[in-house]
Amino acid sequence: MQASSYGWCATDSPITSRQTTLIYNPVAGRLRGRGRGRLERAKGILAKAGYAVTASPTTGPAAAGLMARAAIDAGAQLVLVAGGDGTVNEVLDGMAGSSVPLGILPAGTANVLATEIGLGHDLERAAGVIPHCVARRIALGRLNSGHKTRHFLSMAGAGFDAQIVYGLNARLKQRFGKGAYWLSGFGQAFRRFPEFAVELDGATQAICSFALVSRVRNYGGDFEIARNASLLDDRFEVVLFRGQSSLPYLKYLCGMIGGQLAGMRGVTYLTARHVRVFDPAERRVHIQVDGEYAGPLPAEMSLAPDALSLLVPPDYLRQHE
């Protein structure tokens, strides 16, 4: 990696450079079939705004991060990613520590990050917003589960929701999008959910069957759970859920839909900069990051400060500062 590619990026700096690499996932939900036309129109919008865009498709799992690194080595001054949250996660993992800004073009199933910062779900609209965005230096989450350390931007989940991701059928996801997550969730209705331990900042311990470690408010692109979370904060909002059967989770679902989770019995809100999740009984409990399966517990989540320059609309900054 070129030494000049790393270092400090001024807070809220405008993007004046136009040498742009666009990494896109050709099998993302909004890019398949006729969706390819959306990508071409988005490229046209960027070209009219003065961006010289070189577009490259991902070639398989874990390819996007390597592509981002190679693009920076080759002199890219802006990296855009068109895909779902999983593709975004791969790209930012490859860019962690770089001063080159990252911009998001929503093209996936949930588009949690794009929704969070106000880009929405429309690929072409987001392309029109990119020239007005500013580069904000933010922290990244860092997951260490005893294997390869990986970064994440939006959230990590241990227990209940990670079990849903673990059981997700890839073909159903391609066919039904978000509906595949609901189908996988309904498939957990008669399971027992193991409760495990959560340690926050080396001290506080709690027991739960679902731990959400989040830096964004929205969950799945449609709901809000961690309502006080912000990408501009150097902390996680941690939401813990108790319950070993599906009945409490039906209650939690109603609370989530109605915006009434806070204060609900069995739900605890905390904040931390370091979170450790483990199961003293050593059962197989799963973890996910940014909607992608990340392996079994134990795991630790910490913050990597000043790790990424993210393009965000000015409205997001005004709302969160």
Tens digit of pLDDT for each residue in 286-299? 999 998 899 999 99
In this predicted model, what pLDDT tens digit does every residue of 252-271 receive, in sequence order?
989 988 889 998 999 999 99
Between 120 and 105, name the one with better pLDDT. Answer: 105
In the chain, the percentage of residues whose pLDDT exceeds 70 is 88
Architecture of the structural domain at 144-304: Sandwich (2.60)
Q: pLDDT tens-digit profile of 185-221?
A: 556 666 889 999 999 999 888 999 999 999 999 887 7
Whether residue 124 has pLDDT greater than 60: yes
Mean pLDDT of 100-112: 92
Instruction: For residue 143, name the pLDDT band (cuts at 50, 70, 90).
Output: very high
- pLDDT single digits (tens) 41-94: 999 999 999 999 999 999 988 899 999 999 999 999 999 999 999 999 999 999
pLDDT for 160 beyond 50: yes
pLDDT at residue 263, as a whole number: 86
- Bridge partner list, 54: 21
For residue 178, pLDDT beyond 80: no
List, in sequence order, every residue forming a beta bridge with 81; answer none if it has no partner: 23, 104
pTM attached to this predicted model = 0.88
Backbone φ/ψ region at 159: left (φ over 0), alpha (ψ -120 to 50), beta: left
CB 211 within 8 A of CB 226: no
3.40.50.300, 3.40.50.10330, 3.10.105.10, 3.90.870.10: CATH of 3-138+307-315: 3.40.50.10330
Number of residues that make up the chain: 321
> What number is the average pLDDT over the span 309-313?
97
The CA-CA-CA angle for residues 290, 294, 296, to 5°, reads 135
> CA 258 → CA 185, 223, 231, 238, 275, distances in Å?
19, 9, 24, 20, 28
Torsion region of 288: left, alpha or beta (phi above 0 gives left; psi -120 to 50 gives alpha) = beta
Domain extent listing, the chain: 3-138+307-315, 144-304
Q: Is 251 exposed, middle or buried (0-12, 13-18, 19+ CB in 10 A)?
A: middle
Residue 321 has what pLDDT? 75
Name residue, tokens 């969730």: 185
The sign of the dihedral angle between the CA atoms of 193, 184, 60, 63 is negative
Structure confidence at residue 3 (pLDDT)? 35
- Per residue in 11-45, pLDDT (tens digit) is 454 554 579 999 999 988 788 877 788 999 999 99
